[in-house]
């Protein structure tokens, strides 16, 4: 298995632009998680899905952030409009459910100028 796939690996954009991050979870996993990692705040959970349904989005910072999971093999995290404080590494992870391992993708490093 190729593991969790994220694209792009790096994104540099200007303030105000729309940014879309993509994730393909491991086949057969029914949970998908989006995280953000910064030096100041560490690794924070933004939102997670179970069987394609959003379960907890309490970590989404504000309305500029949205996430979708249209099917079991694809999810997007969108930021519109982007701001410099959104600069971070965004990770997608998938898992098989409670108490099991979460498998992380390589991350997308986002820089908003």
Strands 10-13 and 108-112: parallel
Q: Is 24 helix (H, G, I), strand (E, B) or coil?
A: strand
Confirm or reject binding of residue 91 to another protein (CB under 8 A). Answer: yes
Q: Does residue 25 touch another protein according to CB under 8 A?
A: no
Q: How near is the Cβ of 85 to another protein at its closest, in Å?
A: 20
Site string for another protein, 28-57 (x = CB under 8 A): ---x-x-x------xxxx--x-x-----x-
Q: Does 63 bind another protein (CB under 8 A)?
A: no
Is 39 buried (19+), middle (13-18) or exposed (0-12) by CB count in 10 A? exposed
Residue closer to another protein, measured from CB, 43 or 113:
43
Written as six digits, the tokens of 111 are 């820089």
Q: Please, are residues 80 and 67 in contact by the beta-carbon 8 Å criterion? A: no
Query: CB neighbours (10 Å) of residue 61?
Result: 13
Q: How far is the CB of 81 from another protein (least distance, A)?
A: 27
Residues binding another protein (CB under 8 A): 4, 31, 33, 35, 42-45, 48, 50, 56, 91, 93, 95, 97-99, 101-102, 104-107
């Amino acid at each position: 298995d190729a593991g969790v796939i994220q694209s792009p690996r790096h994104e540099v954009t200007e303030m105000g632009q729309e940014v879309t991050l993509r994730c393909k979870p491991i086949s057969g996993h029914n949970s998908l998680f989006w995280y953000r990692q910064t030096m100041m705040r560490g690794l924070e959970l933004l939102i997670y899905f179970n069987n394609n349904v959003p379960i907890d989005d309490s970590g989404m910072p504000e309305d500029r952030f949205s996430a979708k999971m249209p099917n079991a093999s694809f999810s997007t995290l969108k930021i519109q409009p982007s701001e410099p404080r959104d600069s971070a590494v965004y990770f997608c992870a998938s898992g098989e459910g409670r108490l099991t391992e979460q498998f992380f993708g390589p991350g997308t490093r986002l820089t908003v100028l």
